[in-house]
Amino acid sequence: MYTRRRLLTAATGAAGLAGALALPGAVSAAPTDRRVGKNGSLKVSFFTDAHVPIDKETLKPTPNNARVTVAFERMAREKPDLVLFGGDNVGAVDGGHTEANARAQFDNWSALVKTHVRAPHVSVIGNHDIWYPKDTKPDDRKAMARAAFGMPNRYYAVDRGAWKFLMLDTFHDDGCHIDAPQMEWLKKEIAADPKKHIALVSHASILTVSCFIERGKPQKGAWNVPVGWMVENANELRDLFLQHPNVRLSLSGHMHHLDRCDYDAVTYLCGGAVSGSWWGGDYLHFAPAFVNLELFDDGTFTNRTIFWEKIA
C-alpha cells in the first residue's frame, strides 16, 4: 500500500465523457503560453489533492467543507468547459478505515461536487482514494471511488473537441505504474487518431522535478526517490510518446508541489494541491492551489495557477 505520508516517512529514513458524468481575482504563477495561433479553445480546470476529510468520530463533514467550497466557487468563476479532478479527492480511505468511514467520505465528496460543480467533470483515482480496510480485503479496492467519481472504468478516454484526455490509473497493490493491460489500451488510444492532441491525466506524475526538493539532499551520494513519487515505467512511457508527436501534455498531482517540466515534446505539469498541506497551510512553500488551462485546437495551450485561498 502506497500512502503519501508513509512515503514521506520512508524518504526521510533511507467510455467517454457521457458515461463519466454521473454527478450533474486570480494570482498567476508565471503563466506559460505555448500558443502559436489563436483559434478554437477549451477551458479546463485541473483540481487535484483536495483531501476533503470527515470527522473520524461522527463521520460528519468538518469545517474544511466550507474551505473547499470557496475553492469550488473560485473555480466556477473561471467558467471551465471541463473540470479534471486529479485524485485524492477524499481525505483518505487507505489507512485501515471502516466501510462506514470510507462511504461517508465518498458521500461527502459527491454531495460537494453535486452542489458546487456545474461544469462537466471527470476524475482519476489517487492513492488515498483506494480503500484499504484493516481486517478484510475487498474484491475491488477502487469500486467505491469509481462509483463516487462517476468513472466508467479505472482508466478511460474523454474526447473534447480537438483534444483527447486519457485518464490513467497509477496506484496498485504491487506499486505505482501503468500496468500491462492499461499500457496496451494507452498505445491504442494514442495511435487511434494522430490528429487528436493528447492530454494525459494521472495522480502520480509520469515525470516531475518535485521529488528532488521533497526531502532536500542526496543520501549516500544519490538522490533518494521512493517508488510512488513517479510512475515506475516512465522510460517506457517516454519511448511511447516519442513515437507520437500528438502527445502534448501530462497533468498530475500527488506531490502537492507546483512544477512544470518540458521534456522532449511533452509538457509535464504537477498541479499542486487544493488542500495545500492537507488543510494545514502551505506545503513546502506551495500554497493551496489549482491550475487553469486553455487548450487550443492547434495543440498549444496556456496554463495559470490559482492560489484560491490567498486571494478570493
Report pLDDT digits (tens) over 207-226: 999 988 887 667 788 887 88
Q: pLDDT tens digits, residue range 39-62? A: 679 999 999 999 999 999 999 999
Residue 20 has pLDDT above 60, yes or no: no
Distance between CA atoms of 151 and 311, rounded to whole angstroms? 32
- Res 85: pLDDT: 99
Grid coordinates 503519501 are at which residue?
4
The backbone torsions φ and ψ at residue 263, rounded to the nearest 5 degrees and listed phi first, read -135, 130
pTM flag (> 0.85):
yes
Distance between CA atoms of 267 and 169, rounded to whole angstroms? 19
Give the C-alpha distances (Å, rounded to integers) separating 178 from 77, 139, 174.
Answer: 35, 20, 11
Domains of the chain, first to last: 4-23+38-306 (3.60.21.10)
* Cβ contact 35:127 at 8 Å: no
Pull the grid cell for residue 202: 494521472
Average pLDDT over residues 22-39: 39
Distance between CA atoms of 118 and 72, rounded to whole angstroms? 10
